[in-house]
A = this chain, B = another copy of it.
Amino acid sequence: MTSARRIVLASRPAGQPGSDNFRTEAFELPEAGEGDVTVKALYLSLDPYMRGRMSDAKSYAAPVPVGGVMEGEAISEVVKSRHNDFSPGDIVRGRTGWSSHAVINGDQLRRVETHGAPITTSLGALGMPGFTAWAGLKFIGQPKAGETVAVAAASGPVGSMVGQLAKLAGARAVGIAGGKEKCAFVKNELGFDAVVDHRSENFESDLKAACPDGIDVYFENVGGRVWDGVLPLLNQFARVPVCGLVAHYNGAGAGDRDRLPATMSTILRQSILVRGFIQIEFAKDHFDEFLAEIGPRVAAGDIHYREDIVEGLEKAPEAFIAMLSGGNFGKLLVKIAE
């Protein structure tokens, strides 16, 4: 038996999670059954949606039970395999959780394919975040040449891809990010046409100045106050893919007045499309198409990304907590083993 470590949900948070909501524990890895694969985790992906899994509010996915291992996707190396598709040494991706090792049915694993880019991209630019950006634009946002695409958390793994894909479509990309360092990255390294700091006191007028022709696509992945700046700029027939509301996850994001009537009136007046989505809706039919289209561009360095790699599984809770308040910079990964 292999001795392994995992991080479980110790208790449900009220508002912002704290380190006491998590507990690291040792566990004995079970024997693999027929069709199972035993893996050693290399990199764990930390993502905002995990905050939702910590609560038992109604959601599109079941919550993590108290005492259960925190859910998450990781890149792993196959140690033992009782599944025909995998052999020891294979690098795979799967929802093995916040855990150093796992035994999982091989049907739930996917071989990592990055077209030559580093394997960590399969959790970021070429993984769920990158696919979220690609699918949200392809199936909902549909930016056209000359249009303006705005996205918040623009230095993050979804937002950075949204802007770069918008540019590839011939649209103008306007990023929204927090702080000078992130804004400089969005403008200079990712090549967005403009960037606005949401921490600025003049955020709303700054955004307006950055979008002289209004906004045709607003890729919503934060919610909260950014929306108040975006709403008056939305053009007729604007599209708003909604893939995340990180500002709401801790119960924040509410205003001191009812902001719904203004939102609905604008949706009506401007014939706006708002569409929530979870990437899994499109993944089965379109992930391979995404990988074939975007993989070579990432491998060639035409599409840029940034990673924020924390060392050691036990660091996952504090890194996750910091991410929820914008305290990281780039796709957040936890390196668990070499």
Contacts and interface: CB of A to CB of B under 8 A. Distances in A.
Contacts of A60: 236, 269-271
Given A258-B258, A271-B281, A273-B275, A264 B223 contact: yes
Contact of A274 (B227, B244, B267): B267
A248 interface: yes
Nearest to A60: B269
A284 interface: no
Interface residues of A, number: 38
B267 A261 contact: no
A272 B275 CA distance: 6
B254 A261 contact: yes
Nearest to A263: B260
A88 interface: no
Nearest to A52: B269
A256 interface: yes
Given A273-B275, A274-B275, A275-B274, A268 B245 contact: yes
Interface of A: 58-60, 220, 223, 227, 236, 242-245, 248, 253-261, 263-278, 281
20 contacts: A59-B269, A60-B270, A60-B271, A223-B261, A227-B260, A242-B264, A242-B267, A245-B264, A245-B265, A248-B264, A254-B257, A254-B260, A259-B260, A260-B260, A263-B263, A269-B276, A271-B275, A272-B275, A273-B275, A274-B274
